[in-house]
Structure 1
Amino acid sequence: MAELLGSVWWLIVSLGVLVTIHEYGHYRVARWCGVKVLRFSVGFGKPLWMRRGRDGTEYAIAAIPLGGYVRMLDEREADVDSAELDQAFNRKPVWQRIAIVAAGPAANLGLCVALFWAMFVVGRPDYAPVVGQVDRIAAEAGLQPGDTILAVGDRATPTWSEVQMALLPAALDRDDMALQVENAEGHARTRILPLGRLPENFNQRNPTGEIGLTPRHALMPAVIGRVEPDSAAWGVLAEGDRITAIDGSPIRGWNDIGREVQSLGARNESAMIEVERDGERLALEIKPRLTTSPDGNEYWALGVNSPSGREIPKDAVLRHGPLRAVPAAFAETGHQARQLFAMVGRAFTGRIAIENTVAGPVTIARATNAFAGQGLAWYLSILALLSLSLGILNLLPIPILDGGHLLYYLIELVKGSPVSERVMAAGQYVGLALIVGLMGLAFYNDIVNNLVR
């Protein structure tokens, strides 16, 4: 329940900020161009709060916090008094109408830059881009535990999150990728990941796992939280023991235990397990037992469980000073915009699974809540991405959206006269059908990603 309420709260807050800035862009440029604004509303439906400004504009907060609008004086929507004809939107030159319509998406893009700047200045805590374990393609490329990934292609990766974001598009395109790494001894190397060998149906939500890269922070310390009664470890190992080696093989984290135990069990042999207990190093003999899981699968087990609720502390920060953060924010906005357009292209060419294309409100709400729970900088980063997405989405040449209106005005510039009302009406129906289809896909993805899985 707490997660649900938190998700709803952060969704409302985020949409409120993004929509307000978007509509303020329309409002501000409209006023500069001499257009009378009748209402500036955050949300749809019945107003919960409203007041009239000195300029005659009604400012409102409505009941449905899933959007907003700016209503301008326009002869196409209602009769206009002859004394106010010069303030009507439709009477303004086409270049002014283009500026007013484009101002909303532009405001979102500007907000994105500002939010990225704030994120860099605050500093986003993260994990160092250090490899903990390798297999599959990563092992073939020569990566080793302890390697620090400095860059993926030409993109620097100061944190593990940057590694993940840089590897995702390359994995989707199955393009071989050069990694600049530094090994544990401090020597720089270039490793080529043969991403063309990824299977067609690989898990697109976990590209690093499919590649065979496990980060150091994902390797939970091999500290025993509980020993199962009457198990192989009962009376041998104890709660709080830190396993350092099994049969001479070093144990770096909890994930290493299972692999070594299965290998030991396959030989049906006893072996020495080295542990640290109360500051002492002990070597204890143990033999795994064949165990059956609830789903009927058999596996070798010691009978030990990891501690629950343990969070690995973050050991890296993505941060710039106030001046250095300015070009970094512009660069990040440009990079993310290119990635967003590239994702749209992959969706149309089928290189990305349909359930990973458009996020619905449930997915966005849960993601926003999760990011907000990690601190201010993480919330600023997702708010920046949402603002960028909203700005670019509205620029798509779909009637009803800002981009559709801009398309009409560009046609007007070329042909020298406005698009006919018949064409505009037909475009509205087409645009409505496209938007409904897009919303349907978003809700479908919500169901698949949050209810079915």
Structure 2
Amino acid sequence: MFDFIYFTLAFLVAISILIAIHEFGHFWVAKKLGVKVLRFSIGFGRPIWRTVRGEDRTEYVISALPLGGYVQMLDEKEGTVKDEEKHRAFNRQHIWKRFAIVAAGPAFNFLFAVAAFWLMFVIGANALKPVIGDVTENSLAAKAGFQSEHEIVAINDKPTPVWEVAMHQLLPAVVDRDSINVTLRSPSGSDSEHKLALDEIRGELDPDNLFELLGFEPWRPRVEPLVGQILEGSPAEQAGLQREDRILEIDGRKITQFTDMSEYVRQRSGEPLEFRISRGDESRTLTITPRIVEQDGTEIGQIGIGPLERGEIPEEMIVYYDHSIFEAIPKSVAQTGSMTVLTLKMLGKLFTGEVSIKNLSGPINIAKHAGLSASAGLNRFLNFLAIVSISLGILNLLPIPILDGGHLMFYVVEMIKGSPVSAETEMTGRMIGVFLLVMLMGLAFYNDIMRLVGN
């Protein structure tokens, strides 16, 4: 219950910030270009707070449903305008002014992303070195010569001091299916070059399973295979597993870490497994059948236990990663640019079927990630805000009527033909836009619900 409340609050804070930034873009440019703004609203529905300010008596409103917002400007299409104010009506403005006002919302989303990344880089945070954990046999990583406990020090000659930087290099290459050169450093300190053949990836891409796709895991602290939490009604409880039991073997396979157990169980949903455990001075055997759970569209096995203790991360595995005020400026611009390009590529590959549509997320999943990032600290939350802000900017620029991109599309047509599109065309476009958005949101909600069911 606490997690639900925390995630909801984090989501409301995040979405309110991003909506306010977007709508402020429209508001600020409209005011600068001489257009009268009647209302600035965060949210829809019943107002829960309002005030009137300024010479134009602009109404500022916060409404009950914080899933959007709008800036209402003086416009002859929406009501009668006094003769002395017609020059300030939106519809009377030159096409370039109208274009600038509409484009300002998404533009401010991208500017906010730059600012958020900049602050994130300046604040800095402790981060893990990109050290490789387990490597899957016959995987892309294994064929490239990756080995456990080797550190990724560079990708295509670009240094990778922490996992976040390494991921930022890996993900675009995976999406493009481009082979990359990886420099690895052994525990003894010697460097070696390896070619990771990402062009051999086949089928749909699922960035959520990036490491599974590549065939290796990031290094994790060692966690003893001792049973901690046991979920009520789980296969583990029904089989008689108890807290502080040590898992020695499963089906004769030796278990040395908790992750060995979870990975073995994950791949064998619905199969009876023979667990040999030690309890005190005794050794006994239990048969446990992992329940079948759907996670991100894939069936996995779970027995419903957690580790007794979390492994500690040694100091030598942690790096404090930050940048100076001036170093952070070009890096934040570059980060925003590369994330924008990556998001556009992912969007394009959704339509071609190269990326799974399961990657679409709705408010439920966004709320979950908002809560997780907020609980991880300001640095993580800023990163989350920047990425979602970029996504909102791109979404609003799609040429779908009722979105900013749809309005801009109509303005381009107006520039070409020399006159505005007809009211009938605009109304038809709006209906199509509503239909497309409902379909898109329906799919996103479906994915969210399937993730909840799967987890």
What range describes the TM-score normalised by the shorter chain of this pair?
0.7 to 0.9
Which of structures 1 and 2 has the bigger CA Rg?
A: 1
Superposition deviation, residue 310 in structure 1 = 4.8
Matches within 5 A, 1:257-406: 291-295=286-290, 306-310=307-311, 312=313, 315-356=318-359, 358-406=360-408
Match of 1:183 in 2: 186
User: Unaligned stretches of 5+ in structure 2?
Assistant: 229-243, 249-253, 265-280, 292-304
SS of the residue aligned with 2:323? coil
| Count of paired positions | 406
Match of 1:147 in 2: 150
Checking the alignment, whether the CA contact within 8 Å between 1:131 and 1:145 is kept in structure 2 is yes
Q: Does 1:53 align with 2:58?
A: no
Checking the alignment, whether the CA contact within 8 Å between 1:35 and 1:73 is kept in structure 2 is yes
For each residue in 1:86-125, what CA deviation from the matched residue of structure 2 results, as whole angstroms up to 9, or x when unmatched? 1100001011111111111111111000000000011133
Checking the alignment, whether the CA contact within 8 Å between 1:53 and 1:59 is kept in structure 2 is yes
Aligned counterparts of 2:194 and 2:425: Cα–Cα separation in 1: 56
Q: Provide the alpha-carbon RMSD of the alignment.
A: 3.4
TM-score normalised by L of structure 1: 0.81
Letter in 2 for 1:370: L
* Matching residue within 219, 231, 237 for 1:216: 219
Superposition deviation, residue 193 in structure 1 = 1.9
Letter in 1 for 2:350: A
Aligned counterparts of 1:223 and 1:63: Cα–Cα separation in 2: 48
Identical amino acids, percent of aligned pairs:
41
Matches within 5 A, 1:60-139: 60-135=61-136, 136-139=139-142
Superposition deviation, residue 318 in structure 1 = 3.0
SS of the residue aligned with 1:11? helix
The range that moved more, 156-165 or 21-30, is 156-165
Superposition deviation, residue 147 in structure 1 = 1.3
Checking the alignment, whether the CA contact within 8 Å between 1:176 and 1:192 is kept in structure 2 is yes
SS of the residue aligned with 1:85? helix
TM-score normalised by L of structure 2: 0.81
Aligned counterparts of 1:80 and 1:204: Cα–Cα separation in 2: 52
Match of 1:264 in 2: none
For each residue in 1:124-158, what CA deviation from the matched residue of structure 2 results, as whole angstroms up to 9, or x when unmatched? 33211011222232222111222111233465432
For each residue in 1:270-296, what CA deviation from the matched residue of structure 2 results, as whole angstroms up to 9, or x when unmatched? xxxxxxxxxxxxxxxx99876522349
* Matching residue within 403, 422, 425 for 2:424: 422
The range that moved more, 313-322 or 122-131, is 313-322
For each residue in 1:387-413, what CA deviation from the matched residue of structure 2 results, as whole angstroms up to 9, or x when unmatched? 111111111111101111111111111
Q: Does 1:205 align with 2:208?
A: yes
Aligned counterparts of 2:208 and 2:45: Cα–Cα separation in 1: 37
Match of 2:14 in 1: 14
Checking the alignment, whether the CA contact within 8 Å between 1:73 and 1:88 is kept in structure 2 is yes
For each residue in 1:250-309, what CA deviation from the matched residue of structure 2 results, as whole angstroms up to 9, or x when unmatched? 97x55468999xxxxxxxxxxxxxxxxxxxxxxxxx99876522349xxxxxxx995335
SS of the residue aligned with 1:206? helix
Matches within 5 A, 1:428-443: 428-443=430-445
Superposition deviation, residue 321 in structure 1 = 1.1
